[in-house]
Amino acid sequence: MVHFIGAGPGAADLITVRGCELLKTADVVIYAGSLVNPDLLKYTKSGCEIHNSAFMTLEEVIDTIKKAESENKTTVRLHTGDPSIYGAIREQIDLLEKYNIFYDVVPGVSSFFGAAAALGAEYTLPGISQTVIISRMEGRTPVPERENIRSLAAHKSTMVLFLSSSLTEELSAELIEGGYEPDTPVAVVYKATWPDQKIFKCTIETLHQTMKENSIYKTALILVGNFLGKKYDRSELYNPDFTHEYRNSKNE
Ligand code: SAH
């Protein structure tokens, strides 16, 4: 049995209770060492075999799992944040299915939730945006042309950019060409929830300079949109004039 587990964004106590319980019982752990906090490994039992997938290929990961299976061992595959976001789990799952190896997936706190928490921000502010677009600049992994930042920017919704810290000059140009005002607020959250977390507030126009001045080239999220501004409408849910399933309007 293989458990894919979301390790959370950084802080070791942001793994879920379920993820942690499974980690404690694992015979073999394969963790994404580039971003998973190694402090999480303290939860493993003694004798647990530990592999850092940063040094491994997909084939080596699968071979390690197959070997564990042949010895009736339980494997935990620990991914950063939530495994469904840029986690490369699908290719592993397809191979496990091919070899008839059982698996399940335990969700995790994605770094984009960690970043919002660090800011005390709400991505979906009434009157501002009710949509969060998660995307990235094209790097070595191509992004389909129809999803280029320019066209996504046309919505002027909340945007969360992963994997784009080294491409901010192009990113800002695309965001502005797409339709955002150059002074739209941006927050860069570096290592959200880690002890060395840093937050930089700027605008689309000053993003690149901010990144350069602070030498941020990786492990950061770039959050864009007026949800970072001052204006918004208050919610209907907690509006005294509003009646809903659980509460009558105070004014009836
Ligand atoms: N599955 C992960 C994302 C993996 S892709 C998740 O759900 O968070 C790796 C990218 O995620 C990094 O390049 C960076 O953009 C972002 N990232 C991961 N952890 C981060 C953190 N603690 N703070 C800020 N960005 C982070």
Residue type, 88: A
Domain residue extents for the chain? 2-106, 111-228
The response to whether residue 219 sits with its C-beta less than 6 Å from ligand 1 reads yes
The response to whether residue 8 sits with its C-beta less than 6 Å from ligand 1 reads no
Per-residue model confidence as pLDDT tens digits over 189-244? 999 999 999 999 999 999 999 999 999 999 999 999 999 999 999 988 888 888 88
Question: Tokens standing for 42?
Answer: 């303290």
Q: Which CATH number fits domain 2-106: 3.30.70.2860, 3.40.1010.10, 3.20.20.150, 3.30.360.10?
A: 3.40.1010.10
Taking CA atoms only, the protein residue closest to ligand 1 atom 11 is 162
Domain 111-228 is found in CATH 3.30.950.10: yes
Model-level pTM? 0.95
**How many angstroms separate the alpha carbon of residue 148 from the centre of ligand 1?**
20
Length of the chain: 252
Question: How would you classify residue 177: left for phi > 0, otherwise alpha for psi between -120 and 50, otherwise beta?
Answer: alpha
The response to whether residue 163 sits with its C-beta less than 6 Å from ligand 1 reads yes
**How many angstroms separate the alpha carbon of residue 219 from the centre of ligand 1?**
6
Judge whether 164 and 136 are in contact, CB under 8 Å: yes
Per-residue model confidence as pLDDT tens digits over 1-55? 999 999 999 999 999 999 999 999 999 999 999 999 999 999 999 999 999 999 9
**Ligand 1 atom nearest to CA at 84:** 1
Average pLDDT, the chain: 96
CA-nearest of 219, 243, 192, 156 to 9 is 192
- Going by pLDDT thresholds of 50, 70 and 90, the confidence category of residue 113 is very high
Question: Tokens standing for 112?
Answer: 């984009």
- In sequence order, the β-bridge partners of residue 187 are 201, 223
The response to whether residue 189 sits with its C-beta less than 6 Å from ligand 1 reads yes
**How many angstroms separate the alpha carbon of residue 81 from the centre of ligand 1?**
7
Strand 220-224 and strand 158-162: pairing?
antiparallel
Which residue, chain included where needed, has tokens 């770039």? 222
Choose which residue among 16, 40, 111, 161 to substitute to test ligand 1 binding: the one with the highest number of ligand atoms within 8 A of its C-beta. Answer: 111
Question: Tokens standing for 229?
Answer: 């501004």
Question: Tokens standing for 93?
Answer: 């799952």
Choose which residue among 35, 137, 168, 200 to substitute to test ligand 1 binding: the one with the highest number of ligand atoms within 8 A of its C-beta. Answer: 35
The response to whether residue 175 sits with its C-beta less than 6 Å from ligand 1 reads no
3-state secondary structure of 216: coil
CA-nearest of 107, 99, 96, 83 to 35 is 83
Q: How far apart are CA 136 and CA 61, in angstroms?
A: 26
Judge whether 7 and 79 are in contact, CB under 8 Å: yes
Q: How far apart are CA 51 and CA 236, in angstroms?
A: 49
Question: Tokens standing for 84?
Answer: 């469904």
Give the H/E segment covering residue 117: helix 111-119
Judge whether 79 and 103 are in contact, CB under 8 Å: no
